[in-house]
Structure 1
Amino acid sequence: MALSPKPSVVPFAVHGEGTGVAQTLTAEGDAGHVFHADAYPAFGGADSAPSPLFYALGSLTSCNQVTASLVAKDLGITLGAWTFDVRGDLDTDVLVGGADGNANFDRVEVRATVETDAAPEAFARLVSETERRCPVTQLFKRSGLEFVNDWTPAPLPAAAARG
């Protein structure tokens, strides 16, 4: 007998089809967003679309922004524009060469800047709570790689601060 999932569980499903190392993916749901992935020529691809590794890093920035927006609402903080720079260091010995070991990134570094009205203590809480609550951050952190999460607050433009 299957158990019913908790009401708070939302399923995310993706369907993929492809040949070689290129793939067309469809996010299942009402919108049916379609996206494409390929690989660098060194990995057997034509570099016709972003690598799945870029999507992984991009999902990290996007999920942090979504999660921080939810956390900011809970904390009564206003957020404005964002910038993210994310770098993942991947040793390709396992992926390409078949060496023993873990094919994961060795290190991922997130550098984020966000416009906010948060005081320093509230900003620190925003960052720590976002890290705790962000599903993609937790995927990376729990994978055992070295994870650096460096956020910087920037002042909100005067019009945004007024509301």
Structure 2
Amino acid sequence: MALRPLPATPYVVARRHLRYVGKDCLVAFEANLYSVPTLRIRPRQLVEIRATKSQVILHATTPDRQGETLLATHPRAVGRGTRVLDERHWDGLPTGAGRRVTAGGDLTAPRQQDHGARAGSLLALLNRAAATQVEVGRRPLSVYDELTGTRPFTTHPSTKESS
């Protein structure tokens, strides 16, 4: 009489941990690495890991524009030193020699205009970077030779040599 039937959905026991996302879009948990979608995170972003017996579920600590926090769900790795990756997590980013970077930080890919379907999203990522707004001055190297008093390929002695 005192016992009721079990609920239809089982109670899931999950351990919760906070971890930072690396610039390679991977999150370390129990000596294994798990991927997260690059277009939804930034480097050093704090994410919550909910680890069950069979899965590792990654959530953002703040909801996105649609109110979602779920970033990725992966099967839990067996052993240590395993990379559990979903290649779709890097969709929309330029690829370089096997190197992946997060969308929110310093993009090392060349800034080329691609008139394909992904050009709009790539330009939006590049325009978000603060480094694109910095004005850089240019001057010839001879200015530095004058400042240091070294003129390696001239026949005239510098001002420091003649005194």
Q: TM-score, normalised by structure 2?
A: 0.26
More helix by share: 1
More strand by share: 1
In terms of Rg, which structure is larger?
2
Q: TM-score, normalised by structure 1?
A: 0.26
